[in-house]
Amino acid sequence: MKLEGKNALITGGGSGIGLSIARGFAEEGCRVAIAGRRQEVIEKAVQTTNPPMLGHTVDVADRESVQQLFDWAAESLGQIDILVNAAGINIKNRSMEAMRPEQWDTVLKINATGAYNCMYAVLPQMRERRDGLVINISSISGKRAWDVGGVAYCASKFAMAALGTAVGNENGPNGVRVTNVYPGEVDTSILEQRPNPVSEEHRAGILQPEDMVGVLVAVACLPARAHVPELIVKPTNATFV
């Protein structure tokens, strides 16, 4: 039980990478609360997970909704030792020509501003305790801009990465660590927003959500003096430049 005595709040925790991390942390003794936009998805994840988790709805792009989440977490979970920002979306119109301005706004609000909103809410308690870990689930698209990710998604993930690095540098002296994680292609529901359908063969050859768990448990178990600022996990058969 490597994380016994720790509390974690995970946004985007109802499915995909977020849910896999939540289950992995819970199995290591962590008390976990997951949050996401769709109540039915959160409820299903809570009901089908053992050890048990807590759940709450949130729209990370809405600061009032985020504050309500953190107020609830303070009462239901207690202090937040680990925050995982795993909420994220993409769109099918990925080129500058095809994308509409309101689609740009939506992607940036959820992927970048959403992470900011949650970090803004949790950092005061972490600074006060001089201890805490924030894990940002960015993307390989936050390391290199490519057409697979698309204009808005790449921009949002670059922004998320810069946010995490800057906040980590600022708050390291306060005992707060921020880890940016850059997964390559992962078989999650976000693939359904690809402009072209993804084959089952392709899905089988890329990362699975559970592939992220072991390394993130290891990051969360490090002593407070040790910090992993960046972490890249990619499919073995994918090139990296």
Query: Which positions are annotated as active-site residues?
Result: 153
Which stretch of DSSP H or E encloses residue 23?
A: helix 16-27
CA 5/CA 147 separation, integer angstroms: 43
Assess contact for 82 and 133: CB atoms under 8 A: yes
**Whether the Cβ atoms of residue 224 and residue 176 lie closer than 8 Å to each other:** no
Rounded Cα distance between 155 and 180, Å, is 15
Q: Residue 169: CB partners within 8 Å, gap ≥ 6?
A: none
**Which DSSP letter does residue 186 get?**
B
| Residue 118 Cα distances to 78, 182, 185, 194, angstroms | 16, 19, 25, 27
Burial call 220-240: b when 16+ CB within 10 Å, e when fewer: beeeeeeebeebeebbeeeee
